């Protein structure tokens, strides 16, 4: 097929990304019909069904021809799909609040409900990630709206101006180190990203001789959105929903951070002769070409191209042979990352293989250095 007649083979698959925020409604319907497992439908689909389907469907490493990339970028069809996630996300949140406020949930059902809406709002951070990188003012504000339910609006600042600058270096709180468990990474990245976002915004205002305590501060106005949303839901459903809002927010931003954990685990950018870090390229992000998860995550798994070209929209992100590949899609690897012994067994040897067994070339967690040296001695020669 010539470039002139090329058509996106996934064009009618991309709307599947909108299935996730509808899952709580389906779960509620199942639960109300007398099947308690319905409260758990959303996490079951995301972390069990999708990985299984991914395994059987496999990979797709084809890239759109560069000659059609500009036209694909301009197509409103793709960006409208990201916009549509937000009303579905907010409708699901309101529905879950209504169920919670009504009461009568068993502990089993309550946990399932928290996980369900937490997963929806956690995956919404990926939608916010896609929107927040764009130059259009509307999309940047929509990004903050998508982040409001998890209280993670500072991600908009830290990710774009912090993580993308420091990625795959020891200075980046969102780049996991070889030998570092997710449970050690989580507090480091949550606190480090928060501090980084505030410092970046404060520095922006100091350069202009202004105070950062203004509604123009992108950290503060994003947090105000969270406060307004929480106040509105509390007014509508009562203070009883506050524990739900807090718990699902923790689930949501933890889901983001476990994805951050696996995206750059152990990968490092070396310093060049001038002492600066090398430019970010395809070697500095873990990728996956699993079709199903890529569709559900707006192709987040083609992460190397995203870091090299942050303004490229998801439909034109490319797969590169030089990118290190995960053994499975993100949905599977998230579960693996929660189990540190299994994660180390699966990933540590892949990091070392990427660096030809040279431990000094990786981004290593200092407390794990001795253990890694004893378990992975560098072959002679």
How would DSSP label each residue in 317-338? ----TTS-B-SS-HHHHHHHHT
pLDDT recorded at residue 17: 96
Q: Could you tell me if residue 213 is inside a domain?
A: yes
Phi first, then psi: give them for residue 287, nearest 5 degrees.
-125, 165
> Total domain count for the chain?
1
Three-class secondary structure of residue 56 per DSSP:
helix
Within a domain: 85? yes
SS3 call for 151 = coil
Closest among 255, 190, 186 to 47, alpha carbons compared:
255
Looking at the DSSP bridge assignments, the partners of residue 277 are 271
Angle at 208 between CA 206 and CA 210, to 5 degrees: 60
Helix (H, G, I), strand (E, B) or coil at 183: helix
Q: Which long-range contacts (CB under 8 A, 24 or more apart) does 33-40 make?
A: 36/106, 36/108, 36/109, 39/105, 39/108, 39/109, 39/110, 39/111, 39/112, 39/113, 39/116, 40/112, 40/115, 40/116
CB 379 within 8 A of CB 362: no
- 112 neighbors 27 (Cβ within 8 angstroms): yes
pLDDT of residue 305: 94
For residue 100, what are the contacts with CB-CB under 8 A and spacing of at least 6?
A: 110, 113, 237, 240, 241, 244
Q: Count other Cβ atoms within 10 Å, centred on residue 91.
A: 14
Q: Quick one: pLDDT band at residue 1, thresholds 50, 70, 90?
A: very low
Whether 101 maps to a domain, the answer reads: yes
Taken in order 294, 299, 304, 307, the sign of the CA dihedral is negative
**Distance between CA atoms of residues 234 and 137, nearest Å:** 29
Whole-model pTM: value is 0.95
Spatial neighbors of 61 by CB under 8 A, at least 6 apart, are: 289, 319
> What torsion, rounded to 10 degrees, do the Cα atoms 76, 164, 263, 278 define?
130
Residue 381 lies in a domain: no
Tell me what the mean pLDDT of segment 218-245 comes to: 97
CA distance 17 to 120: 11
Give the three-state DSSP class for 290. Answer: strand
- The mean per-residue pLDDT over the stretch 42-53 comes to 96
82 vs 109: CA distance, rounded Å: 30
pLDDT value at 137 more than 60:
yes
The yes-or-no verdict on residue 3 having pLDDT over 80 is no
Facing residues of 325 across strands? 287
- Give the closest residue to 93 by CA, choosing from 254, 230, 223, 240: 230
The secondary structure of residue 135, as a DSSP letter, is S
The answer to whether residue 279 sits within a structural domain is yes
Segment 93-110 mean pLDDT: 96
Q: What is the pLDDT of residue 273?
A: 82
Q: How confident is the model at residue 291 (pLDDT cuts 50, 70, 90)?
A: very high
Domain membership of residue 330 (yes or no) is yes
pLDDT surpassing 60 at residue 239: yes
Average confidence (pLDDT) over 264-283: 92
Rounded to an integer, the average pLDDT of 262-291 is 94
Asked whether residue 232 is assigned to any structural domain, the reply reads yes
| DSSP at 280 | P
Distance CA 4, CA 13 (A): 22
Taking residues 46-73, report their average pLDDT.
93
* Residue 110 in tokens: 């309550």
Asked if residue 2 has pLDDT above 60, the reply is: no
d(CA 233, CA 250): 17
How far apart are the C-alpha atoms of 282 and 302, rounded to whole Å? 10
Please compute the mean of the pLDDT values over residues 236-243 and round it to a whole number: 98
Indicate whether 103 belongs to any domain. yes
Domain range for residue 243? 3-375
Confidence of residue 279 (pLDDT cuts 50, 70, 90): very high
DSSP-assigned beta bridge partners for residue 364: 178
Beta strands in the chain (DSSP E): none
- How confident is the model at residue 105, as a pLDDT? 94
Per-residue pLDDT, 349: 95
Of 151-160, 193-202, 206-215, 343-352, where does mean pLDDT reach its minimum?
A: 206-215
CB 198 within 8 A of CB 368: no
In three-state secondary structure terms, 212 is coil
Q: State the pLDDT at residue 4.
A: 58
Give the number of other Cβ atoms within 10 Å of residue 337's Cβ.
24
């Amino acid at each position: 097929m010539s470039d002139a007649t090329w058509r996106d083979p996934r064009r009618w698959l991309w709307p599947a990304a909108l299935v996730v925020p509808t899952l709580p409604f389906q779960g509620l319907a199942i639960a109300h019909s007398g099947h308690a497992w319905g409260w758990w439908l959303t996490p079951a689909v995301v972390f069990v069904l999708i990985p299984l389907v991914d395994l059987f469907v496999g990979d797709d490493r084809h890239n759109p021809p560069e000659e059609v990339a500009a036209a694909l970028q301009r197509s409103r069809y793709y960006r409208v799909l990201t916009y549509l996630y937000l009303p579905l996300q907010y409708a699901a949140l309101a529905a879950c609040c209504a169920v919670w406020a009504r009461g009568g949930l068993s502990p089993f059902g309550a946990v399932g409900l928290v996980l369900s809406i937490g997963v929806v709002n956690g995956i919404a951070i990926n939608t916010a990630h896609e929107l927040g990188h764009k130059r259009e003012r509307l999309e940047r504000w929509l990004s903050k709206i998508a982040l409001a339910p998890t209280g993670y609006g500072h991600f908009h600042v830290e990710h774009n101006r912090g993580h993308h600058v420091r990625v795959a270096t020891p200075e980046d709180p969102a780049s996991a180190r070889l030998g570092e468990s997710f449970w050690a990474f989580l507090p480091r990245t949550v606190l480090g990203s928060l501090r980084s976002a505030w410092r970046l915004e404060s520095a922006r205002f100091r350069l202009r001789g202004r105070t950062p305590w203004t509604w123009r501060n992108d950290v503060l106005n994003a947090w105000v959105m969270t406060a307004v949303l929480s106040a509105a839901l509390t007014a509508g459903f009562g203070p009883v929903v506050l524990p739900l809002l807090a718990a699902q927010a923790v689930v949501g931003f933890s889901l983001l951070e476990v994805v951050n954990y696996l995206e750059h685990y152990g990968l490092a950018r070396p310093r060049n002769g001038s002492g600066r870090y090398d430019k970010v390229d395809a070697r500095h992000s873990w990728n996956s070409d699993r079709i199903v998860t890529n569709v559900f995550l707006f192709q987040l798994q083609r992460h190397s191209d995203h870091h090299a070209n942050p303004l490229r929209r998801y439909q034109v992100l490319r797969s590169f042979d030089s990118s290190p590949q995960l053994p499975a899609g993100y949905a599977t690897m998230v579960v693996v990352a929660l189990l540190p012994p299994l994660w180390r067994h699966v990933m540590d040897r892949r990091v070392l293989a990427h660096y030809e067994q040279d431990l000094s070339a990786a981004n290593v967690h200092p407390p794990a250095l001795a253990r890694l040296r004893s378990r992975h001695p560098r072959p002679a020669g």
